[in-house]
Structure 1
Amino acid sequence: MPLPQSALAPDTAPSPAAPALSYRRTVDRRDVHRWAVSEVFLTDYADLSADHYVAAAQLPPAHYYFGDHTGPAAHSPDSMLLLECCRQAATCVAHRGLGVSRDSAFHVTEWTLDLTDTPLPPQDTPRELTITAVVTRTQVRSARLRAAQYALELSSGGAILGRCDISARYSPAEEADVVRRFHRKSVPPLSGSLPAVPAGTPVPPALVARRDPANVALADARRVAGGVAAVVAVPSGHRTHFEHPQDHYTAMILMEAARQAALLAAGTGVRITGYHSAFARFAELDAPVRVAAVRRGPDEVAVRFRQNGTVVSEIAVGVTEAF
């Protein structure tokens, strides 16, 4: 269901005395885990008070991935773009506000986005986004932050667009590498090892509200009792998902796959109202990630990801009929 503005918890709202933010240039790409400056949307960051922060982002007027939409999403801020702006804001806060080192491994465990139904008029200039953040430090070990929760509020031109909550864990790179190899019993491959054209039969772009076949994230889709089933399929050269080498399917990739699975289950005439996600383990690149999507009532599609028979993620996608 769309999130009413009254549902935004006032007790977690940062101080209104926010500094003026700049939209003139991007932040350091390393602070948002990007290699290409063109994929950086965060333009400024500031501390408000203890564990209260504010950030600015400029939404690109055109983008080959985030702007590639048909249907109801074509004329409103893309839910995946808002998720990416929230990811960049939380990552920047972690590095610059909380002292998490740049060589740390990040692991998102829970991620939600609840959008309001606030209409935004079209405009000729790039839309500017303000993201206010309240951080709760949930685990500190040997004076080093190991886990945190972020409550983010998104607004544009004074209109509240929604609320995003992110829970993340942080590990020193060498520790994360040892743990990862122990659980895998092998070195994880990098995304460059994936085929340029994923195996299987790709979903037609129009069925997942895309124009460009390169932005389709699912293959071998079929109708099953109560919903749809498919396999995650992302080309190795995707300029956003694999803008730099990855050793797993990221949370953003699974969110996109969940969005597309929800549209297959509910139809492209619906509008996405949010995501409630839990990530139990890494989605590895060297084994099929299977997707099952079932519509649970008029306003939700439940999406589950399995790999080798084990659940790696569950994402509830909020939907509403668009008129």
Structure 2
Amino acid sequence: MITTLEPTVLTTPTPAEHCACQAQTDNRLATTVPRALVHRAAVAEVFLTGMCRIAEDRFHIKAQWPRGHSFFAPVAGTHYDPMLIAETIRQVGAYLAHEAFDVPIGHQFLLWSLEYSTVPEQLAMGEAPADLDLIVTCPEIRRRGNRLTALTYEVVIRQGDRVIATGRVGYTVTSPAVYQRLRAKQLSRQPDSVLGPAPVAPAEVGRLSPFDVVLSASCGPGVWQLRYDIRHPVLFDHVGDHVPGMVLLEAARQAVTIGAEAGVMPVTVRSTYQRYAEFGSPLWIHAEPASADLGGTAARSIRVTGVQDGEQVFEAVVVTEPVGTVASLL
């Protein structure tokens, strides 16, 4: 059963007031962490601002969300885009690997799963950027010798004394030499955009510009071709040898938004990734109702899959809820 976050039930210890990253924020000295440590080329796309290690498998990480963003625009003009949750917890994984587990820059990370949960009321925007406390625990740390090979981590995101989201991510780590052997053919190819047919109207998928739309006009009920422009400064902050997982997650978000009322939000996402999404081959996005007990609410549960060359690339089960009219809590 898929359920949304219940902030009144979830509890976790608050960060220690004397920790270094808390002191930096209190003294207004915090800056973003080095962009290379979260696998971002643009400083503007870095949301993490510091970290303290509480225990071998437990961390306090500070983050900040801007009130305006070129891509993650506010939903209905009033609420943070939940995709900020996904991107923030993705950045946590890269930062932990390099800063806490000594993974050298240049190693490759293979995402296997990413999930998050929130409720619309918790994402209402306030009069200043959202300063966040992330408590991160690592229930699975796999090593070969002293080298990290896989990590599963869980995140509780707080703003002040409120839990606003939770998340969980799993990935494996590959050395440059091994990755070169595995991906030599793809690494030798030149990445290229796939624009295909005309995009879905931006307003239908909660975006402002055709440049931000990753779905071509429907090829049939619940089926679209993935489209993307590798010049996009957020979805392709830097271009690698395959389509990033965040592009696939955005495709899922857009697919569940089509046909929904204005201001719908993906409040819960559970995604898994089975294969690389390769450049140069059509990738089809399919959406269908998912079976879930949603308690008679206005929420909808949609299963989205991506298929390329007859093989499933990823699956995401997304629960959406309308924003509605809620007072700002921030």
TM-score by length of 2: 0.87
User: What residue identity is the alignment partner of 1:300?
Assistant: S
User: What residue identity is the alignment partner of 2:267?
Assistant: T
Number of aligned residues: 308
Shift in Å, 1:107: 0.8
Aligned to 1:64: 70
Aligned to 2:90: 87
Query: Is 2:223–2:286's contact at 8 Å kept on the other side of the alignment?
Result: yes
Shift in Å, 1:82: 1.5
- Kindly report which structure 2 residues correspond to 1:198-213, keeping only aligned pairs within 5 A, or say none: 198-213=195-210
Q: 1:153 to 1:190 in 2, by over 3 A?
A: farther
Q: 1:273 aligns with which of 267, 275, 282?
A: 267
User: What residue identity is the alignment partner of 2:308?
Assistant: Q
User: What residue identity is the alignment partner of 1:91?
Assistant: A
Shift in Å, 1:117: 4.6
Aligned to 1:311: 312
- Three-state SS of the structure 2 residue aligned to 1:165 is strand
Indicate whether 1:240 and 2:234 are aligned: yes
Shift in Å, 1:14: 6.1
Query: Is 1:281–1:313's contact at 8 Å kept on the other side of the alignment?
Result: yes
In structure 1, C-alpha distance between the alignment counterparts of 2:152 and 2:316, rounded to whole Å = 18
Q: 1:252 to 1:282 in 2, by over 3 A?
A: same
In structure 2, C-alpha distance between the alignment counterparts of 1:296 and 1:242, rounded to whole Å = 30
Q: Which digits, 9 at most, give the CA deviation of each residue in 1:248-290, with x for residues without a partner?
A: 1111111100000011254545322111000001000110110
Indicate whether 1:287 and 2:281 are aligned: yes
Shift in Å, 1:130: 1.3
In structure 1, C-alpha distance between the alignment counterparts of 2:87 and 2:23, rounded to whole Å = 19
Shift in Å, 1:190: 4.5
Aligned to 1:44: 50
Q: 1:41 to 1:179 in 2, by over 3 A?
A: same
- Three-state SS of the structure 2 residue aligned to 1:218 is coil
Shift in Å, 1:222: 4.0
Query: Is 1:266–1:295's contact at 8 Å kept on the other side of the alignment?
Result: no
Q: 1:97 to 1:120 in 2, by over 3 A?
A: same
In structure 1, C-alpha distance between the alignment counterparts of 2:268 and 2:284, rounded to whole Å = 22
Q: Which digits, 9 at most, give the CA deviation of each residue in 1:106-143, with x for residues without a partner?
A: 01101100113544554222111111100134421132
Q: 1:253 to 1:7 in 2, by over 3 A?
A: farther
Query: Is 2:80–2:124's contact at 8 Å kept on the other side of the alignment?
Result: no
Task: Extract unaligned runs of 5+ from structure 1.
Answer: none
In structure 2, C-alpha distance between the alignment counterparts of 1:3 and 1:55, rounded to whole Å = 20
In structure 1, C-alpha distance between the alignment counterparts of 2:103 and 2:126, rounded to whole Å = 37
Comparing 102-111 with 121-130, greater Cα deviation is found at 121-130
Task: Extract unaligned runs of 5+ from structure 2.
Answer: 292-298, 325-330
In structure 2, C-alpha distance between the alignment counterparts of 1:5 and 1:294, rounded to whole Å = 29
- Kindly report which structure 2 residues correspond to 1:1-323, keeping only aligned pairs within 5 A, or say none: 1-5=3-7, 8=10, 13=12, 16-17=15-16, 19=19, 20=22, 22-23=24-25, 24-67=30-73, 69-71=74-76, 74-119=77-122, 122-181=125-184, 187=187, 189-191=189-191, 193-194=192-193, 198-224=195-221, 228-264=222-258, 266-296=260-290, 298-323=299-324
Shift in Å, 1:34: 1.0
- Three-state SS of the structure 2 residue aligned to 1:206 is helix
TM-score by length of 1: 0.88
- Three-state SS of the structure 2 residue aligned to 1:245 is coil
Query: Is 1:302–1:317's contact at 8 Å kept on the other side of the alignment?
Result: yes
In structure 2, C-alpha distance between the alignment counterparts of 1:162 and 1:171, rounded to whole Å = 29
Query: Is 1:277–1:313's contact at 8 Å kept on the other side of the alignment?
Result: yes
